[in-house]
């Protein structure tokens, strides 16, 4: 199941990328504010539960991820566990101007890092 919640502190995509040590595969403008986050490998869950502008963390590196992100008006995709985007993914993402980042962190770790960073009133270590 994905986790989706409203961010307490709004980070830009660039800040998100830095926090998870991401490689930017695609994304000219990373100044976009991220207001929603979700983590899922199940695209039907993303289609059902995501909100416009959400950032998706996923371990699924298939063209369907980009299609889902575009259809759902997401603000970007972070591939976890060191998954590399293939040519088809990058082509689709470039056409739709959809930022694609990648991190070596697992989904759990990446979500944890971001959760601590944005939920400043819940987490005390940030």
Partner 1 sequence: MAADEFENGYEVTGRDFANAGRVSTAIKDTLKGLGIQAPIVRRVAIASYEAEMNLVMYATHGKIRLIVSSESITLRVEDEGPGIEDISMAMQEGYSTATAEMREMGFGAGLGLPNIKRNADEFEITSQVGRGTRLQIRVYLPA
Within a 10 A sphere around the Cβ of 113, how many other Cβ atoms? 17
> With binding defined as CB under 8 A, does residue 65 bind partner 1?
yes
> With binding defined as CB under 8 A, does residue 29 bind partner 1?
no
Q: Which one, 106 or 116, has the nearer CB to partner 1?
A: 106
> With binding defined as CB under 8 A, does residue 3 bind partner 1?
no
> With binding defined as CB under 8 A, does residue 86 bind partner 1?
no
Nearest approach, Cβ of 64 to partner 1 (angstroms)?
A: 5
Nearest approach, Cβ of 85 to partner 1 (angstroms)?
A: 15
> With binding defined as CB under 8 A, does residue 35 bind partner 1?
no
Is the Cβ–Cβ distance between 33 and 12 less than 8 Å? Answer: yes
In angstroms, rounded to a whole number, what is the distance separating the alpha carbons of residues 4 and 24?
23
Residue ranges of the alpha helices (H) in 1-126? Answer: 13-19, 43-49, 63-71, 87-96, 107-118
Is the Cβ–Cβ distance between 2 and 49 less than 8 Å? Answer: yes
Q: Enter the DSSP assignment of 86.
A: -
> With binding defined as CB under 8 A, does residue 68 bind partner 1?
yes
> With binding defined as CB under 8 A, does residue 63 bind partner 1?
yes
Footprint of partner 1 on this chain (CB under 8 A)?
41-48, 52, 58, 60, 62-65, 67-68, 70-73, 88, 96
């Amino acid at each position: 199941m994905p986790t989706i919640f409203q961010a307490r502190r709004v980070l830009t995509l660039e800040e998100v990328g830095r926090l998870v040590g991401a490689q930017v595969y695609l994304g000219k403008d990373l100044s976009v504010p991220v207001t929603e986050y979700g983590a899922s490998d199940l695209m039907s869950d993303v289609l059902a539960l995501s909100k416009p502008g959400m950032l998706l963390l996923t371990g699924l590196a298939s063209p369907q991820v980009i299609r889902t992100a575009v259809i759902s008006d997401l603000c970007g995709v972070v591939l976890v566990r060191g998954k590399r985007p293939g040519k088809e993914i990058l082509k689709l993402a470039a056409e739709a101007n959809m930022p694609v980042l990648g991190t070596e962190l697992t989904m759990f770790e990446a979500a944890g890092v971001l959760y601590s960073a944005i939920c400043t009133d819940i987490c005390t270590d940030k």
